[in-house]
Amino acid sequence: MAGWLMKKGLIQKVIVGADRIAANGDVANKIGTYSVAVLAQRHNIPFYVAAPLSTLDTSTPHGDLIPIEERPFEEVTHIKGQRIAPEGIKIRNPAFDVTPNELVSAIITEKGIIKAPYTEAIRHIFS
């Protein structure tokens, strides 16, 4: 639905939160955030991340080092305790994904707006 709304010109900007932001500006957030960022880029729509400075993790250089929580497979294979998926199928149920910094237009914080290049800008905001 997001892609269709973007294509129709009904969305002018995207603003999401973040659970964690790496030192280079890669953003970990709820699953699906990365997909929305890709759609926004495809439709030339700015993609902003609004997060407190406490979300910035300068000890993690990039998003590939952010651990991604895997939720129980039963959340996908069962409803109210009843199996709805075939036995033996492989399930991935990540709770988060990581959006690469090149898809982020800016990071909005309580101390101001951080723009690329993110590594330098994030280092500067903490100095």
Report the catalytic residues: 19
Paired sense of beta strands 14-16 and 47-50, if any:
parallel
Whether the CB-CB separation of 75 and 18 falls below 8 Å is answered with no
Distance of alpha carbon 39 from alpha carbon 34, whole angstroms: 9
Distance of alpha carbon 73 from alpha carbon 85, whole angstroms: 11
